[in-house]
Homo-oligomer: A and B are copies of this chain.
Amino acid sequence: MKSEAIVTSQSDHKLVTIRDVARLAGVSPITASRALNKSHLVKPETRQKVEAAAAELKFIGNSAAGSLSNKRSNMVGIIVPTLSNSIFADTIQSITSRLMPEGFQALIGSNEYCLQREEDIIRTFISHRADALILTGHTHTKVAEELIGQYRIPTVEIWNISEQSNHICVGMSNFQAAFEMTSFLISCGYKKIGYIGGILKNNDRSQDRMRGYREALEKHGVPFDPALTRESVYEFASGATAMQSLLTKSQGIDCVFASSDIIAFGALMECHRNDIKIPQDIALAGFDNTTIGALYKPALTTISVPRQRIGLKAAEITLQLIKGENDIQKVNDLGFDLKVRGTT
């Protein structure tokens, strides 16, 4: 079908392009493009004409075309373990709030604690030529690391820190935090301290927290007893189940350290259900410092993690990396806070 000059069929579904804007403004397409992006290269008067034309046509540029040409997608891929846990929602929130004003679109993926799925998501993000990646933790598949290398995607890891990692990381020492919490619990005089941690497999945060618990015990001369530990999915119900198991199979426990507030809350519910008084009968500590934990009475003793600051700093570094800056500190420790409250 040859288009004839006059015909402007409505059913043609032609979207407005920068050429249309340029035509209406009486300039060339490149000038229009420049006016809309790098306005300093264009006379203010021209810029206004172009902007007016763009506004009149409700022009929205095609970023696929843009990124194809200038090799920057203005997208940043973010992968968290899950969206259901609000702690990651908070981090995402703060990342995007920093990135959006700079013109970046966040691609968000959750791997549901599965490395293979993470690899798939990374592959998708690369296909969209994300300008950078923000991943949770240090643990990734070999292929994922290779792809990141081959496609040279600047990558930032959040929520844990390690000198060993291949990437820049922003977070706090999960080991140190668990170590300090456990030490604190020991210093309170608790003798038989149970531990409900997240699934260890492929999860460096869970592993580090467990290690913190264990090494703190050993440092204080308390033998580590696997029978006092449970692995739990990061969900209320699972925390409750783990607690139930501890209550029945490990009598004499006077304190439980849950490596996540969600798990701790599930454990709390379970105690509640069994008329076990917190902290009189059993003390309880969590990790993450969620809102519910702080609001509950008695309020939950926990580790406060600077979720928003992690997101903000990660976004900041991401922007620097995209700009090509490379004098960036590799390990960014934002610390944590031990919040001693009612449950211990």
Using CB atoms and an 8 Å cutoff, list the residues of chain A in contact with chain B: 13, 15, 58, 60-65, 67-68, 73, 75, 82-86, 89-90, 92-93, 96, 105-108, 110, 123-124, 126-129, 146-147, 150-152, 235-237, 240, 265-266, 269, 272-273, 291-292, 295-297
Contacts and interface: CB of A to CB of B under 8 A. Distances in A.
Given A64-B65, A89-B89, A107-B107, 17 more contacts: A15-B151, A60-B147, A62-B68, A63-B128, A63-B129, A64-B129, A65-B68, A83-B86, A83-B92, A83-B93, A84-B93, A96-B110, A105-B124, A106-B108, A108-B108, A272-B296, A272-B297
A90 B84 CA distance: 7
Which 5 pairs show the lowest CB-CB distances between chains A and B? A83-B89, A64-B64, A108-B108, A63-B127, A64-B68
A146 B265 contact: no
Given A292-B236, A295-B236, A61 B127 contact: yes
Kindly name the residue among A64, A269, A273 whose own CB sees the greatest number of chain B CB atoms within 10 A: A64
A309 B127 CA distance: 30
B105 A128 contact: yes
Count identical subunits in the complex.
Answer: 2
A85 to B, nearest CB: 8
Contacts of A292: 236, 265, 292
Contacts of A295: 236-237, 240, 266, 269
Nearest to A103: B124
A235 B93 CA distance: 15
Contacts of A291: 235-237
A64 B73 contact: yes
12 contacts: A15-B151, A61-B127, A63-B128, A64-B73, A82-B89, A85-B86, A108-B108, A235-B291, A266-B295, A269-B295, A272-B296, A292-B292
A22 to B, nearest CB: 18
Contacts of A90: 84
A230 B152 CA distance: 53
Given A83-B89, A92-B83, A106-B108, A127 B60 contact: yes
Given A110-B93, A235-B291, A64 B61 contact: no
Contacts of A107: 105, 107
Contacts of A75: 128
Contact of A86 (B73, B84, B265): B84
A58 B150 contact: yes
A8 to B, nearest CB: 15
